[in-house]
Structure 1
Amino acid sequence: MSDSVPRSLDQRLDVIARHPFRAKFHLRGRELATAELSGPSAMRWHAYDLIAKRLAPAEPYKDGKQTPYRGHPVFVAQHATATCCRTCLERWHEIPKGRELSRAERAYVVGVICRWIEREVECSSGTMNAGPNA
């Protein structure tokens, strides 16, 4: 785990991952390859863009149905981390519905998504942050 990631974020992700529905989501195939090839900065940019359009408004279009299950690593991560709709965001992350997400809330959501993707990529490589000489 990188020193810049708060332990509480990993702890929250561990709690969410114990929920049977959330536990089913993992990066595989094309989505895993996309995350690995694009890298963390591109994933963060994609997450910011998708959150701004699909989750940040006070009343997102088709809220509860706006996030596809597959097609992009961020979509998979949103379902795995309960950041897929405003109802899940309220239930799991205590961010209330009915108002636009603040800048800090957007950054938090993107951080959750990106940390989950980072953990998935680490697990898939089997290295868990091991260096080239490990």
Structure 2
Amino acid sequence: MSFDPHELLFRLKQSTFRARFHLDLQSRAYLQEKGLDTVMAHAADFIRDRLAPAHPLNDGKQTPMRGHPVFIAQHATGSCCRSCLQKWQHMSKNQPLTEDQQATIIAVIRAWIEQDTQGNVPDSPAQGSLF
């Protein structure tokens, strides 16, 4: 059975916390300027450097809430830290992520960005209170 990022996105929409993340005007402008392929190259770098090690530096705090479309997408897709990856994508903590796992994370982020850009632009990347 192959991995379907849209099934995970459906499950994530059931989470009040994850469902409130959306790309704002600044993030959409950045996507428009750089293009999705360039933004996804950034995603690959972020995942490799900040998430793939078995014990990432500042795990649980390594992904900002704003500043890049990928950061917002990581929070929306449960790929912001190793604990969220374990919960949402069943990728074990304390082991380096394989290239296939990294590709899966990137595919989910890309699917989320493509899906989110079809909707209206919110006032902020995470509408409503974070708590």
Identify the TM-score tier after normalising by the shorter chain. 0.7 to 0.9
The equivalent residue for 1:75 is 71
* Cα deviation digits, residues 72-92 of structure 1 (max 9, x gap): 000000000000000000011
The equivalent residue for 1:88 is 84
**Structure 1: gaps (5+ residues):** 1-5, 126-134
The equivalent residue for 1:31 is 27
Instruction: Report the CA distance shift for 1:36/1:77 in structure 2 as closer, same or farther (over 3 A).
Output: same
Note the C-alpha offset of 1:58: 0.5
Note the C-alpha offset of 1:15: 1.0
**Does the aligned pair in 2 maintain the 1:35–1:117 contact within 8 Å?**
no
Alignment size in residue pairs: 120
Q: What is the SS of the residue equivalent to 1:123? A: coil
Which of these residues, 107, 110, 130, is aligned with residue 111 of structure 1? 107
The equivalent residue for 1:12 is 8
Note the C-alpha offset of 1:107: 0.4
The normalised TM-score by structure 1 is 0.84
* Cα deviation digits, residues 85-109 of structure 1 (max 9, x gap): 0000001100000011000001001
Note the C-alpha offset of 1:35: 1.6
CA distance in 2, matches of 1:33, 1:122: 14
Bigger relative contact order (CA 8 A; separation at least 6): 2
Q: CA RMSD in A?
A: 1.6
Note the C-alpha offset of 1:32: 1.6
- The sequence identity of aligned pairs, in percent, is 42
Instruction: Report the CA distance shift for 1:65/1:101 in structure 2 as closer, same or farther (over 3 A).
Output: same
Task: Supply the AA of the counterpart residue of 2:96.
Answer: E
